[in-house]
Amino acid sequence: MTEPEVEVRPPQRCARCGAPILAAVTVSLPDQHHPELHRRITATVCPECDRHHPAREVQGVIAYFTLHEQVSDNETEAAGQILADWAQYVVAHPPTYGDDELDADIEQWERGEL
């Protein structure tokens, strides 16, 4: 498995509400049906949609970036730990993408929003 790729304040917007996202992490996970193969998934933290997320790792990202607009040199270690904890959470609890999400994406695409 490769190391997670974390991006702070990436240019894309939240797919759920359109707000700027705070961070995105891409992780490599074994495929459920073919464990020898890996799939890459990306999870994001939105300050609006994830405001009430129950995971402390997600709340840690929101809290950090509420207090700090960016990662300063003297905050690298603290921010790195918060983002690493979140990446581990994503590996343990990967986001799902089902029929409802696909239908919503198709509707957004048909409206020209994607």
Structure tokens at 81: 């730990």
**3 state DSSP class of 27:** strand
Asked whether the beta carbons of 70 and 9 are under 8 A apart, the reply is yes
Average pLDDT over residues 69-94: 91
For the cut 60, the answer to whether the pLDDT of residue 1 exceeds it is no
Compute the half-sphere exposure of residue 37: CA atoms within 13 Å on the CB side of its CA: 5
As a whole number, the mean pLDDT across the chain is 87
For the cut 60, the answer to whether the pLDDT of residue 80 exceeds it is yes
pTM, 2 dp:
0.77
pLDDT bracket for residue 112 (50, 70, 90): confident
CA–CA dist 2, 38 (Å, integer)? 10
Partners of residue 23 on adjacent β-strands: 8, 45
**Edge-to-edge strand ranges of the sheet holding 23-30:** 5-8, 23-30, 38-45
Average pLDDT over residues 33-58: 90
Domain ranges of the chain: 5-107
